[in-house]
């Protein structure tokens, strides 16, 4: 009887073994197609600006993921960190991070057909050491080299003109302004724009924003004109107490073509300044031409003589 039972199980055992194996594999295959929900643990990596430190340990992140068993099985070796970079100019002692499913999904193997159902914790407040902030002026160290026959219209402009510094208060107290790196701009015509970095080599652990400025300017052709018969005056108006010789002079102007062509006689003033050696009766006056910005002007001749008017009884 016992032999018959043993014979029943051992008869055609390769076929029976294969059948059992296939049944197990079919069961496993079916189970792998069933939806599965499981948790995975990830780290949080916060990239701090130089000089700042964390005041407490960062928590671990648990992500609940759902998908077919076969897909979830692919994630059994899931490891990694969610990385966030703190803004350089953050000055507050706390920084709140809100985690999104897309950040967790970025850690998954490519092609994984799963969904992130929940993230715990969803918001994390990062505690930091205290720092100060300060706004300072940006000084441009920029030289524009004009081509032959060209001139820079009205100088250059930079944007922005103010930078924000963040760092320890004692470091900020020593900084009153920052500069661009020394830069030479050449081979330009017409309107131009350049991006120039701010020099950060002396800031140490102090952070700055922005780290560069936009420089704008305009080059134009040089033109020259001459205006005759411009009256000589003092800073207070026409000369009445003295007789000026000559009373009118010529003025030569030089500058951007459009501005020079737009000038009129009324755009120019010639002012006499009495120089040393003058007496009560008269002396010599040096002439200065007051012209619109961007225009170079000189009087011809550049000096006059004057003598006091006499009264006739």
**Global confidence as pTM:** 0.54
Q: What is the C-alpha to C-alpha distance for residues 177 and 161, in angstroms, rounded to an integer?
A: 10
Which CATH number, 3.40.50.1820, 2.170.120.30, 3.40.50.300, 3.40.50.720, labels domain 32-127?
2.170.120.30
CA 131/CA 51 separation, integer angstroms: 9
Q: Helices 13-32 & 2-10, crossing angle to 10 degrees?
A: 60
Task: Report CA Rg, the chain.
Answer: 41
Q: What pLDDT is recorded for position 312? A: 55
Residue 32 three-state SS:
helix
Question: 222-308 — its CATH code?
Answer: 2.170.120.30
Q: Could you tell me which CATH class the domain 132-221 is placed in?
A: mainly beta
Predicted pLDDT of residue 221 = 85
Q: What's the pLDDT at 82?
A: 82
Which of the residues in the chain have pLDDT under 50? Answer: 24, 26-32, 313
Q: Quick one: tokens of 309?
A: 């008017």
* pLDDT score of 143: 94
> H helices within the chain, ranges in order?
2-10, 13-32, 69-73, 101-105, 169-172, 257-262
Q: Does 210 sit behind a cis peptide bond, omega within 30 degrees of 0 on the bond before it?
A: yes
Q: What is the pLDDT of residue 242?
A: 74
d(CA 250, CA 260) in angstroms, rounded, equals: 15
In a 10 Å sphere around its CB, with 0-12 CB exposed, 13-18 middle and 19+ buried, how is residue 254 labelled? middle
What's the confidence (pLDDT) of residue 235?
Answer: 62
Same fold, 32-127 and 222-308: yes
Q: What is the C-alpha separation between 172 and 175, in angstroms, rounded?
A: 5
pLDDT at 113: 66
Q: Can you read off the two tokens belonging to residue 282?
A: 């008269």
Query: What are the structural domain ranges in the chain?
Result: 32-127, 132-221, 222-308
């Amino acid at each position: 009887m016992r032999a018959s039972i043993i014979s029943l199980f051992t008869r055609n055992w390769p076929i029976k073994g294969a059948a059992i194996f296939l049944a197990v594999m079919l069961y496993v295959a079916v189970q792998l197609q069933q939806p599965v929900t499981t948790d995975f643990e990830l780290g949080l990596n916060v990239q701090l600006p130089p000089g700042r430190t964390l005041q407490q340990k960062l928590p671990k992140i648990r992500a609940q993921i759902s998908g077919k068993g076969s897909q979830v099985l692919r994630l059994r070796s899931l490891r990694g960190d969610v990385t966030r970079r703190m803004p350089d100019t953050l000055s507050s002692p706390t920084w709140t991070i809100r985690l999104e499913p897309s950040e967790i999904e970025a850690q998954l193997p490519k092609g994984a057909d799963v969904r992130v159902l929940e993230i715990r914790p969803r918001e994390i407040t990062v505690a930091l050491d205290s720092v100060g902030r300060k706004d300072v002026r940006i000084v441009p160290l920029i030289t524009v080299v004009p081509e032959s026959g060209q001139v820079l219209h009205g100088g250059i402009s930079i944007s922005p003109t103010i930078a924000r510094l963040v760092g320890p208060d004692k470091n900020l107290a020593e900084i009153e302004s920052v500069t661009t790196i020394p830069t030479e701009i050449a081979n330009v015509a017409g309107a131009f724009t350049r991006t120039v970095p701010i020099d950060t080599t002396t800031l140490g652990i102090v952070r700055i924003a922005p780290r560069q400025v936009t420089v704008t300017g305009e080059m134009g052709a040089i033109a020259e004109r001459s205006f005759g018969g411009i009256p000589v005056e003092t800073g207070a108006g026409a000369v009445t107490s003295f007789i000026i010789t000559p009373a009118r002079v010529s003025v030569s102007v030089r500058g951007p073509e459009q501005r020079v062509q737009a000038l009129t006689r009324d755009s120019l003033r010639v002012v006499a300044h009495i120089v040393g050696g003058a007496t009560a009766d008269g002396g010599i006056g040096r002439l200065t031409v007051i012209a619109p910005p961007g225009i170079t002007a000189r009087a011809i001749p550049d000096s006059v003589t004057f003598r006091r008017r006499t009264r006739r009884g």
